[in-house]
């Protein structure tokens, strides 16, 4: 990040569009959820995009968050005793969180890249990942979610239907409306053009 100079032209425009997607109200909700889920020991960030990024940057808060969604015996991410200070260790901690989030059920398209958080390239993507994780936790309803369930939308769940053999046979006798209708107007008595000579 130290070698990154100012952005000009199109790259500046692209970066400003990405930064506009960041939602301050969503940040407040996510901070409330993370504190409710992990406890007050994780602290609180300074308000704003950069404060949120600095709070999550070393990966410890994210790792505690994903671990809190599992029962006591099965914690997917190992958290070091002291927060990592070396860059590659911090990025490794973030990568462990991302893998654990995917294993929990977050779709790969909802998962941010490590540099999105570490270099604050796309903090809106980080918010999307945390929202997807929260939605899954609310949907699973396994007792490991803490906080207000209204903070996140429930994901749609499968509603499997079972049909008996007789119901399936009955369905073969019905003409679907996509095929048209065999009732109503017919073409009887209609003629087009001149009759044959």
Is 95 among the domain residues?
Answer: yes
The enclosing domain of 97 has a CATH number of: 1.10.418.10
pLDDT of amino acid 99 = 92
Is 77 among the domain residues?
Answer: yes
Residues 40-75 have pLDDT tens digits of 888 888 888 888 888 888 888 888 888 888 887 778
Q: pLDDT above 90 covers what percent of the chain? A: 4
pLDDT of amino acid 116 = 85
pLDDT of amino acid 1 = 47
Is 118 among the domain residues?
Answer: yes
Is 175 among the domain residues?
Answer: no
Residues 7-18 have pLDDT tens digits of 667 766 766 766
- What is the pTM assigned to this prediction? 0.70
The residue segments making up the domain with residue 38 are 11-151
Is 159 among the domain residues?
Answer: no
Is 166 among the domain residues?
Answer: no
Enumerate residues 6+ apart whose C-beta is below 8 A from 181: 175
Quick one: tokens of 104?
């929990």
Is 176 among the domain residues?
Answer: no
| Low pLDDT (below 50) residues in the chain | 1-2
Task: Report angle CA 154, 155, 157 to the nearest 5 degrees.
Answer: 115
pLDDT of amino acid 166 = 87
- In 3D space, the residue among 39, 84, 31 whose CA is nearest the CA of residue 57 turns out to be 84
Is 43 among the domain residues?
Answer: yes
User: DSSP string of 28-82?
Assistant: HHHHHHHHHHH-GGG--PPSSHHHHHHHHTTSHHHHHHHHHTS-TT---S---SS
The total of structural domains in the chain comes to 1
pLDDT of amino acid 84 = 80
Burial class (CB in 10 A: 0-12, 13-18, 19+), 158: exposed
């Amino acid at each position: 990040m130290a070698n990154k100079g100012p952005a000009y032209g199109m790259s500046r425009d692209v970066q400003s569009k990405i930064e506009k997607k960041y939602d301050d109200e969503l940040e407040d909700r996510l901070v409330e959820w993370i504190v409710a889920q992990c406890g007050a020991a994780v602290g609180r960030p300074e308000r704003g995009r950069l404060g949120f990024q600095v709070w999550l940057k070393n990966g410890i808060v994210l790792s505690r968050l994903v671990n809190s969604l599992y029962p006591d015996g099965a914690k997917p991410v190992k958290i070091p005793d002291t927060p990592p200070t070396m860059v590659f260790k911090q990025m490794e901690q973030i990568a462990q969180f991302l893998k654990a989030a995917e294993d929990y059920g977050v779709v790969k398209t909802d998962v941010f890249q490590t540099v999105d958080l570490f270099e604050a390239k796309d903090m809106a993507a980080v918010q999307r990942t945390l929202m997807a994780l929260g939605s899954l936790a609310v949907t699973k309803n396994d007792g490991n979610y803490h906080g207000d369930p209204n903070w996140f939308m429930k994901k749609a769940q499968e509603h499997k239907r079972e049909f008996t053999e007789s119901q399936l046979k009955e369905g073969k006798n019905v003409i679907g409306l996509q095929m048209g209708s065999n009732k109503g107007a017919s073409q009887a008595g209609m003629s087009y053009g001149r009759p044959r000579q």
